[in-house]
Structure 1
């Protein structure tokens, strides 16, 4: 990963993939590390970021994130791929937005999983990275057999003379925030609820590809995208915003198999309101603002167009009342 963000120095990458066989440059050592998978980078993760930033400020150093790729569950259970809320590049950008301008990424495989928890802390976090302090969530576990725990981190931090803060469960409107809760909301199509716990609308990034051009014939030309295979977002119609060249545009989108036509592989098709231009091959973001309805099969194109008109009108009304998304 070589993505850079405005929050990181121009000559240093925002994300650095760790090579356990190579020495880390001295300029990258000594940060306060916020530890976690950070899938979704939700409100609870933002609390870790604030805690790490405050600790770093007090110690006269900088905060950074420490995470794993791929998601450990995909390594332990490859036949049950986890629904990733944020792919690596987006995760790094969102971590920078919550105050963690650099992310150390540890490649995760069975060999990494076999590292004893004590060695993980003493040799990697404290030794190789020279952590000035550590911050983790109350449920953070790591190392061989997941024997590493927040309590163990605190004990080893004390022995090494560095502070360790364990962040308790973070609740929003009385519910503990978690990546699992957000995944469930998205699987139910409740993107508004997911946004509440994320702290921002859930969004995806991808390249606009050529489709079958049916939308153009119907008066609704769409930008087509294929989402990750592990995406379990409920099939249906959504009020959305699409970011094109840094600017968010209102629109309406369908994610699903197009039952009226081919009932094919899932695809995201977005109609951007009041926009004209060629998007083929361009990278865009699509943020999901609200659920409109489920997928349906129509008996005629006239019935489908009438429903698309109604969907568009409802999406416009919802988006007019929704503040702009500025990540």
Structure 2
């Protein structure tokens, strides 16, 4: 399902009001976020299911100079929420006005009057309003007074504790995409437009689809076995290098270069999704192009073996 995406709470079309509503930043749309969504639906299965999130992520608003940290940008986040059953995604613009809005005003103006929510679901650690002045207990108190139901959802836990976006980011930065997959319920995907590189991969015999990371988190630099979501909806296997190409003098910005197995075609200007499956080795500097070619051949063989 492709959800309707609304970027405001005023003048919402009547058909998109009156939803049962899951609340949260939902970066990554991991198993904990999906539990909040399921609780919203279970409480009012007859109502349209919606998710409310913020764009940009509040941390991007308050700390714009931080390195990029996002697991999912809005299109991918909305797609994941839609796949989990959300018919509507309210992506409210997080700006100075919203940051200054007290929790009670947010509840009254946005959730009750603007969106007409019939039920609210959030995690136990949900915080909202000016200086995060409101929490899950605030939601429950205000909703009860307004005759709106609430579901306060405990965290989904694994052997290491509560699943969180922070833990998923750390797993990716430490080079453990399998741990991220377990917490997300699907492989983590870098989605972006294929851009022109210097065509060296083609010269070496491994033509690659190149992408910049943009506002995505930068995972551990190195070589990965990956699967690739192609523009036509099919999935292919491949091997990807994420780094700054130290052998070639180094790049100022990290790029993702993906060699797609047994595939040929033109992807320039099109969007693909590269899903990290296994980390094969760290980024390395080689003495020259022949040594680099040997390493790429070994990486391809290792990735094919890892992907089965």
Same fold (TM over 0.5): yes
Task: Determine which of 294, 299, 306 is the counterpart of 1:311.
Answer: 299
Which is further off, 282-291 or 22-31? 22-31
Query: Aligned pair 1:15/2:5, yes or no?
Result: yes
Structure 1 counterpart of 2:235, from 248, 256, 265: 248
CA distance in 2, matches of 1:308, 1:188: 22
- Match in the other structure for 2:283: 295
CA–CA distance in structure 1, aligned partners of residues 2 and 70 of structure 2: 24
CA contact 2:2–2:79 (8 Å) conserved in 1: no
Any idea what SS the aligned residue of 1:260 has? helix
Contact 1:81 1:230 in 2 (8 A): no
SS state at 1:253 partner: strand
Tell me what 1:274 maps to: 262
Alignment RMSD (CA, Å): 1.3
Q: Does 1:62 align with 2:52?
A: no
Match of 2:198 among 193, 212, 220: 212
CA offsets, 1:82-141, max 9 Å, x none? 500000110000011112121011100111111110011122101221110000000000
Alignment correspondent of 1:51: 39
SS of the residue corresponding to residue 277 of structure 1 reads coil
Give per-residue Cα distances to partners, 1:268-307, cap 9 Å, x unaligned.
1000110111122221111111100011111132222121
Matched, 1:188 2:178: no
Conserved in 2, the CA contact under 8 Å of 1:73 and 1:82? no
Deviation by residue 1:182-211 (Cα, 9 ceiling, x = unmatched) = 011111121111111111000011111111
Cα deviation 1:217-270 (Å, max 9, x = unaligned): 111111111111553211100001111111110000001011111211211100
1:164 aligns with 2:150: yes
1:53-88 CA distance string (max 9 Å, x none) = 11121xx21210011110001111122245000001
Secondary structure, counterpart of 1:297 in structure 2: coil
1:132 aligns with 2:85: no
Q: Please give the residue correspondences for 1:68-107 in structure 2 after superposition, counting only pairs within 5 Å.
A: 68-107=54-93
Query: Structure 2 length as normaliser, TM-score?
Result: 0.96
Tell me the equivalent position of 1:3.
Answer: none
In the alignment, the residues of structure 2 paired with residue 175 and residue 77 of structure 1 have an alpha-carbon distance, to the nearest angstrom, of 27
Contact 2:173 2:219 in 1 (8 A): yes
Rounded to whole Å, the distance in 2 between the matches of 1:300 and 1:129 is 60
> Which stretches in structure 2 are left out of the alignment for 5+ residues?
none
Cα distance between partner residues in 1 of 2:303 and 2:272: 19
Q: Match of 1:233?
A: 219
* Alignment match, 1:148: 134
Separation in 1, partners of 2:217, 2:110: 33
Unaligned stretches of 5+ residues in structure 1: 1-5, 9-13, 321-327
How many equivalent residue pairs?
306
Aligned to 1:324: none
Give me the whole-angstrom Cα distance separating, in 2, the residues matched to 1:26 and 1:238.
47
